[in-house]
Amino acid sequence: MDKLEFAKARKRLGKTQKELASLLGVSLKAIHSYEQGWRTIPSHVQRQIFFLLSSQRRQDKNRKPCWERKNCDRKEQCPAWEFQAGHLCWFICGTLCDCTNEKGCREKLKICQECEVLTSLL
C-alpha cells in the first residue's frame, strides 16, 4: 500500500486523520507520515485498513467470495472456505491459493495486494 492508496482508504472509511489514528492505535504523526510517504506503512496497519474496508462492504450483495472469483477447486480444504471468509482470504494465513500457499503472512499480504479480492476494496 502506498501513500495515495492509504489516503484513499482513509477517505473511503470516512475518517479524519485523527480518527483513523485512534482507530488504528497509532499516533496522528504516524498517519501524517504514511500519507506524506515519509514512513513505510507497516503490514499490520495495512491489514487493519483492509479489514475495516472489508467490514464496511459486508452488506455488498455483489461481493463474491475468493473461491468463486478464482474458480477454486480446492476450496473445501482451505481455511477461507472453512470459516466462510472468502472476502477475508488475504487476512487468513494458510489459504490454498497457488500464489500464496506456504508463504508467511507478510509475504502473503504483498502478493494479495495484487489480487482482485483485495484490490476491489480500494
Q: Range(s) for CATH 1.10.260.40 in the chain? A: 1-56
Summarised one tens digit per residue, pLDDT across range 62-113 is 778 889 888 888 888 888 888 888 888 888 888 888 667 677 777 887 888 8
Confidence of residue 117 (pLDDT cuts 50, 70, 90): confident
Name the CATH topology of 1-56: 434 Repressor (Amino-terminal Domain) (1.10.260)
Question: Is pLDDT of 9 > 80?
Answer: yes
Three-state secondary structure string covering the chain: CCHHHHHHHHHHHCCCHHHHHHHHCCCHHHHHHHHHCCCCCCHHHHHHHHHHHHHHCCCCCCCCCHHHHCCCCCHHHCHHHHCCCCCCCCCCCCCCCCCCCCCCHHHHHHHHCCCHHHHCCC
